[in-house]
Amino acid sequence: MNAGPTEKLAVEVDSLFGDYPLDQAFDEMREANGDVRPHYRALAETLARLPQEELQRRKQSADLSFLTQGITFTVYGRDEGTERIFPYDLLPRLITAQEWDRIERGLTQRITALNLFLRDVYSDAKILSDRVIPRELVYSCKHYRRQMRGLQVPRNVYIAVVGSDLLRLNTGEYVVLEDNLRVPSGVSYMLTNRRVMKRTFPQLFHSYGVRPIEHYAQLLLATLRSLAPEGRPEPNIVLLTPGVFNSAYFEHTYLARQMGIDLVEGRDLVTHDNIVYMRTTDGLKRVDVIYRRVDDDFSDPLVFRADSSLGCGGLFNAYRAGNVTVTNAFGTGLADDKAVYAYVPDMIRYYLNEDPILPNVKTFLLSEEKQRKHVLANLDKLVVKAVGESGGYGMLIGPHSTAMQREEFARQIEANPRNYIAQPTLDFSRAPCLIGNHLEPRHVDLRPYILFGEKVNIVPGGLTRVALEKGSLVVNSSQGGGSKDTWVLEQ
């Protein structure tokens, strides 16, 4: 008897996976018994039907597209050819409408609470008087800015641009790993990935019904405009970059061009009488809104680090006077401190009187003696992180560490317990990637980009970051991570 077309295809889909391993970690594409999840079926069938050479040809054409568009990030420490292509994977990550709905509601709730927290801490600090969060935890945070006390920010929005990192546990549940409230990056890769993928798999993209993300730059511009100081109906909006040597410089130029605004460096700005101007060929031009991609520390040498040449002297005073909006506001790093993170569910309950929709990852606070003892006894099983770092720096991954590294961390924890937290080593979800000419699972996270102006706005999807090295749990681009296009389905 001849196999019907459906059975034949099923065989081809099976052969696609070869010895693709499945274990207790959640696989985005396959269920525990090996079946392809319903929403991934069309992708699996497309892959099974495509001849190997055709797949490789599409991969090459996508590579070339990234190259010629100059989608690069800067690698430090080499004098020539300092730009590198951002690695990416050809297969999209799919998220169903139902899953997305939960993520969207959860993030909206979380960002609203975080913003209320910042406003509270920098004004009446009720949450501290009510002893929901320990006072010393907030005031010992290195990103707390006393200069922000009692300062009114436009629309009370402290965090206009956020990129939260989500993981998926082996139950399939999404959890929040961290909130990036300072200067989150990577959104340009989300946008360019989509452009390339639309060209690489046009029919598949069409048949899936994917929600669009291309309007992100427009939404960002509208968000920035909504935060302009009062009485400036046609605000002059600029993007402040640290300059050509910053690792995200490509993104800065990309966003400035997409929004049609000027890309300025600190040396382009001057302040006079608490008004910020930029130097143009037509003389000085007043600046109303600054989308800041420079850290607090480097923004104003008169208020923050005096040795910084990236910012503009007098910027903070102009900001204080309400003559210019700087976003994100200064001091927002307080709320993404990894120890303060542990209290976000409490903030949600305290300010919104709701239960958190997206849970946190279990976090041990090392400033508390009982928890510290537990952590020090179990360093080989846990992940330890410095509270104020990002980008995968200052981290100990217990199961992958040597005894010497553990000793070193134990010493540092004893010396400064407030500076560290610990979390269980998470077996977060994996998605299939095209490695060579076959599929292999790799760990992935998800960074949706959230905009907060008149209201919270999240473009469906975000950047799926991939730990491209086999078995690796680190997805940061500075540490060998890549990315995938993320498709949020209409249905």
Partner 1 sequence: MLSRVADSLYWMSRYLERAENTVRQLDVTMGLMLDTSGTSAETRWQRLIASLGKASRMEWNGDLDAMARTLIFDSLNPAAVTFCINGARENARQVREEISSEQWQRLNRLFHQMHSQHAQAQFRSSINDLLASVVDGIHLFKGVSDTTMIHGQGWQFIRLGRYLERSYATATLLEVYQPELFQVQEQDNSGYQYLELVGLLRCCTSFEAYCQVYTADLSSDRILEFLLLNRDFPHAIRYCVDGIRDAIESIQRSGGRRPPEELTSGIGRLHAMLGYTTIGEILAGDTGAFLHTIREQCMRIHELIYRYYVHYSIQSALAI
Binding status of residue 234 toward partner 1 by CB under 8 A: no
Asked if omega into 328 is within 30° of 0 (cis), the reply is: yes
Output the DSSP codes for 160-196.
Answer: SEEEEEEEE-TTS-EEEEEEE-S----HHHHHHHHHH
φ, ψ (nearest 5 deg) of residue 297: -50, -30
Q: What's 258's DSSP letter?
A: H
Q: What's 147's DSSP letter?
A: G
From 45, 120, 268, 346, residue interacting with partner 1 (rule: CB under 8 A) = 268
From 114, 213, 264, 473, residue interacting with partner 1 (rule: CB under 8 A) = 264
Query: H-helix or E-strand containing 450?
Result: strand 449-452
Q: How far apart are CA 26 and CA 448, in angstroms?
A: 20
Cβ nearer to partner 1, comparing 256 with 347: 256
Binding status of residue 278 toward partner 1 by CB under 8 A: yes
Cβ nearer to partner 1, comparing 278 with 366: 278
Contact range with partner 1 by CB under 8 A, out of 49-57, 249-257, 325-333, 348-356 = 249-257
Binding status of residue 256 toward partner 1 by CB under 8 A: yes
Binding status of residue 284 toward partner 1 by CB under 8 A: yes
* Pairing of β 486-488 and β 481-484: unpaired
From 253, 274, 412, 478, residue interacting with partner 1 (rule: CB under 8 A) = 253
Cβ nearer to partner 1, comparing 191 with 204: 191
Q: Which of 318, 366, 327 is nearest to 451 (CA)?
A: 327
From 45, 63, 262, 469, residue interacting with partner 1 (rule: CB under 8 A) = 262
Binding status of residue 78 toward partner 1 by CB under 8 A: no
Binding status of residue 263 toward partner 1 by CB under 8 A: yes
Query: H-helix or E-strand containing 263?
Result: strand 262-264
Q: How far apart are CA 337 and CA 333, in angstroms?
A: 6
Q: How far apart are CA 238 and CA 293, in angstroms?
A: 11
Cβ 81 to partner 1 shortest distance, Å: 8
Contact range with partner 1 by CB under 8 A, out of 64-72, 97-105, 319-327, 386-394 = 64-72
Binding status of residue 69 toward partner 1 by CB under 8 A: yes
From 270, 361, 386, 434, residue interacting with partner 1 (rule: CB under 8 A) = 270
Cβ nearer to partner 1, comparing 34 with 70: 70
Letters for 404-423 (x = contact with partner 1 by CB under 8 A, - = none) are: --------------------
From 280, 309, 416, 437, residue interacting with partner 1 (rule: CB under 8 A) = 280
Helices 216-226 & 187-200, crossing angle to 10 degrees?
150
Cβ nearer to partner 1, comparing 262 with 469: 262
Counting every residue written for the chain, the total comes to 491
Cβ nearer to partner 1, comparing 14 with 268: 268
Q: Considering only residues 351 through 390, tell me which ones interact with partner 1, judged by CB under 8 A.
A: none
Q: Which residue has the tokens 């469906």?
A: 460
Close Cβ partners of 318 (under 8 Å, ≥ 6 residues apart): 271, 274, 275, 276, 324
From 283, 370, 402, 415, residue interacting with partner 1 (rule: CB under 8 A) = 283
- Cβ atoms of residues 189 and 486 within 8 Å: no
Which parts of this chain interact with partner 1 (CB under 8 A)? 68-70, 80, 243-244, 250, 253-254, 256-257, 262-265, 267-268, 270, 272, 278-284
